[in-house]
A and B are shown apart, each in its own frame.
Chain A
Amino acid sequence: MATQQSRSAARLMMAPAVVLLLGWMLVPLIMTLWFSFRTYLPLRGGDQGWTGFDNYVRFVTSSAFWPAVQTTLMIVLGVLIITVALGVLLAMLLDQPMWGQGIVRILVIAPFFVMPTVSALVWKNMFMDPVNGLFAHLWRFFGAEPVSWLSDAAMPSIIMIVSWQWLPFATLILLTAIQSLDSEQLEAAEMDGAPPLKRFAFIILPHLARAITIVILIQTIFLLAIFAEIFVTTGGAFGTRTLSYLIFQRVLESQNIGLGSAGGVYAIILANIVAIFLMRIVGKNLDN
């Protein structure tokens, strides 16, 4: 659909973006790979040469590894289940005719715009503080003993905070998807005698399948990389150390670059597995 001239101009115009991203991807990636095969302790003797796959083995066999994997999975799965289930319900509710729809939408979406450090801190102190937190007041009001949320129930607390942040995202995308559903389809199903629950199961849910998949994939990628929420609340204590956080600690806190880099390579591989599925869907969408 174009002439030779415009094609060479196009290539030239694309070059800066491509070169920058290529550099941004390749340079650190190669460095991480390089470090992952070396014993590198900047504070304790610096670069001490090749170690082969030692770092990879040590990272996986360290006592912190499996708990971290488990924590990561629990957070990702927990948040996904909560946000997708509530997101579908909320999207359907918001799609109904009502007064002040615009304002309700704004209220629901707001948490997404709160920076992670703020939401983590507000939840940690003002809601989950065992003495002065709002939850403590609430528990005392009902005669119960206040809970030390972030130490005694650290995982559910973190899952809750993160779900609160991501529920708007899921809701918004699912709402957009629901609104694209042709209402004549639902009316046709109604004419065909399908009751509301069947209409939900056979028309609405299949229509949302793609949007749900996209929500799951995108959230997974972001959730795997969750950082600030843990950094601010528990600092990785009380069983909330995720894989990302473990790597962060190895690299910046204990300055074991080789070990951290090996962990980084694992994280990259993990993210890529998810990414491949996402790309497939996005790629298909590009074709039409």
Chain B
Amino acid sequence: MGRITLEQVTKSFGETQVIPPLDLTIEDGEFAVFVGPSGCGKSTLLRLIAGLEDVTSGEIRIDGNAATSLAPAKRGLAMVFQSYALYPHMSVRKNIAFPLRMAKLDQAEIDRRVNGAADVLNLTDYLDRRPGQLSGGQRQRVAIGRAIVREPAAFLFDEPLSNLDAALRVGMRLEISELHERLKTTMIYVTHDQVEAMTMADKIVVLRAGHIEQVGSPLDLYRAPRNLFVAGFIGSPKMNFIIGAEAAKHDAHTIGVRPEHIEVSDSEGMWSGVVGVSEHLGSDTFFHIHDTGLADTLTVRAGGEVGFKHGDRIHLTPRADVIHRFDANGLRLA
């Protein structure tokens, strides 16, 4: 079981409040992702849940029990750190066994669990190596192994993939998702990468300056961002924002159109502009379009075979059913 509840939790460092009063519930078995730009308080929030920082005020409950003043180890949570935080002087086996040794489990049980975890994570051949002799991906797996042997109520991940190269990151992302499917344990995952958030989460928590901007499933956030910040943060490439007369036509201060929701044509369309840089990804092409009279640049996603060149005139038509409308305060209009 691993239902985690935060009630009016705040955190201040000296005079500065980094987390204003915050309420949040993460259901048992859920994969929750805290996402936001750097400095938004997402890691602090995770560390408060872990018990590595004291809350300034408020309550943290794990499965309904007060955990606010429990020592980190007593909360039944396991954490995977950004740097992996493996013990460099211990073999992989000893690293994974360390929490069990601290819990004074008997040796047979420790061996059973370590071998089980090594099996799941494909680490069996590496058990006698030191962390220094492993690749980044393998170290990551050891860190996860050290977490799963404890059979915790919830896993906490602090930007675990940010030290891996792009290809490995995709692979590990799948492995962690797979692990969640198999274990069905609550996971809280902190990242600044909205792609990780979108692809892994059951529930995304978007944070900015310690505030929760929006909580919801990835598709909820994609379809109905509550404000400009979330709209700009979720989705890649970024949503186009248009203000002024064009927005007024929709009775809004700002309208947002995602690049993938704009049709392109060489002859006709609602808007027109001049093609600047185009980025060919093979499957898709991103055009950066200038001189539309709407915004400095509009980004448009088209098929991989669409061939406009630098300087070509291009005509654009947004899909009317997916235009997002925001008021002067940046809040979504229904």
- Residues 233-287 of A contacting B (Cβ, < 8 Å): none
Residues from chain A with Cβ under 8 Å of B53 in the complex: 1-3
**Contacting residues, chain B, for A5 (C-beta < 8 A):** 71
- Residues of chain B within 8 A of A3, CB atoms compared: 51-54
Does A4 reach chain B (CB closer than 8 Å)? yes
Q: Give the nearest-CB partner of B13 in chain A.
A: A1
Inter-chain CA distance A90–B52, complex, in Å, is 49
Q: Is the interface of B mostly helix, strand, loop or mixed?
A: loop
- Name B51's closest neighbour in chain A (CB-CB): A3
Which residues of chain A are within 8 angstroms of B52 by Cβ–Cβ distance?
3
CB-CB under 8 A from B71, the residues of chain A are: 5
Interface string of A1-21 (1 = CB under 8 A from B): 111110000000000000000
Q: Which residue of A lies closest to B52 (CB)?
A: A3
Kindly provide the distance from the CB of B3 to the nearest chain A CB, expressed in whole angstroms: 23
CA distance A4 to B54 in the complex (A): 7
Min CB gap A120→B, angstroms = 44
Tell me the bound Cα distance from A1 to B51 in angstroms: 11
The contact size tier of chain B is under 10
- Name the residue on B nearest A5 (C-beta): B71
B25 to chain A, nearest CB (A): 24
CB nearest to A1 among chain B residues: B53
Closest beta carbon of chain B to A107's beta carbon, Å = 34
Interface string of B27-57 (1 = CB under 8 A from A): 0000000000000000000000001111000
Cβ of A7 to closest chain B Cβ, rounded Å: 9
Across the interface, which residues of A come within 8 angstroms of B51, CB to CB? 3
- Taken together as a complex, chains A and B put the C-alpha atoms of A4 and B53 apart, in Å, by 9
Q: A228 to B230, alpha carbons, bound, how many Å?
A: 72
Residue of A nearest to B71 (CB): A5
Cα distance A1–B78 in the bound complex, in angstroms: 19
Closest B residue to A7 using CB positions: B54
Considering only residues 53-93 of chain A, those with a C-beta below 8 Å from chain B are none
Q: How far is the CA of A1 from the CA of B48 in the complex (A)?
A: 11
Give A1 to B71 CA distance when docked, in angstroms. 15
Contact with A along B230-269 (1 / 0, CB 8 A): 0000000000000000000000000000000000000000
Residues of B within 8 A of A1 (CB): 53
Q: 1/0 per position for A104-131, CB-CB distance to B under 8 A?
A: 0000000000000000000000000000
Contacts of A2 in B (CB 8 A): 53
**Chain B CB within 10 Å — which of A2, A3, A4, A5 has the most?**
A3
Bound together, the chains give a CA A14 to CA B263 distance in angstroms of 68
Residues 1-57 of A contacting B (Cβ, < 8 Å): 1-5
Taken together as a complex, chains A and B put the C-alpha atoms of A5 and B53 apart, in Å, by 10
Q: Which 8 A-B pairs have the closest CB atoms?
A: A3-B54, A4-B54, A3-B53, A5-B71, A3-B51, A3-B52, A1-B53, A2-B53
Known: A3-B54, A4-B54; 6 extra A-B contacts, CB below 8 A, are A1-B53, A2-B53, A3-B51, A3-B52, A3-B53, A5-B71
A-B contacts, 8 of them at CB < 8 A, read A1-B53, A2-B53, A3-B51, A3-B52, A3-B53, A3-B54, A4-B54, A5-B71
